[in-house]
Structure 1
């Protein structure tokens, strides 16, 4: 079961407004830095090694996010050359602008990043945000509550967020 909550959407970049809405005709793609989804653990001091299931699900969710945004007109850029900066600045969801700097170095116009936070053993919150590299402003974002800690619930969470929050119709400034 998923519960969606939208974050307030600010002005949308023309690049985001030009995204196709599920049609087979693709608009000009916008380069986007799609970062790995991270695990947020507010009660834990310092980093800890991920459990095997957590690492696998984060990788599955990240790959699903990349596929979903690419299928909607964003062109994921190669972030491998920025691997050291990503490791240095992680977690990106709370580094206050470092993701935009890394994305700019990679040639991206947009930043897509997210995190999962465990509320209870079988309840997780997934947050995904799209920001503008130049201004750092949030263009679109959303949160989904995932009930059930399985591969399928995580993947369903990503697909639901992308469809119902990040690329939901109507997109502003689009005719």
Structure 2
């Protein structure tokens, strides 16, 4: 048997697929730190990066039989880690947006009744000044609580277009409400 450092990644993948659990242990030892570092580079939190690496290993183990070229294990596995880290970042940003919107709504609800109705009127007026396309996205995102992907499917537009409309609507609302 070769020394474990002499065995190529491709050989280890092939051995694991054929039932050699030791091959997986060598792959984990060889790449786990790399996966953690790659995830950390994206999320900037060591604990979350470790969780992402761990979740990635679960998916890698489940899907390793589908890897057509075992010699490309490292790039294939790093893509999985990368996508999981990006997904985490997107979900985290979405949660922050919802939390921010919730705080705004709560702050409006906590205002005295006369101020609330006046602010609601101002907000409604500012929203009506948006284009119809932007009004749709704002309503679907904040009122109906749909994700950008769901909005894009519903309106038959790309996710990027939905995101852009929401961003520009927010910017226009900020300007209109400061008047």
For Structure 1 versus Structure 2, the TM-score category normalised by the shorter chain is under 0.3
Larger helix percent: 2
TM-score (norm 1): 0.23
Larger strand percent: 1
Q: Which has the higher contact order (CA 8 A, sep 6+)?
A: 1
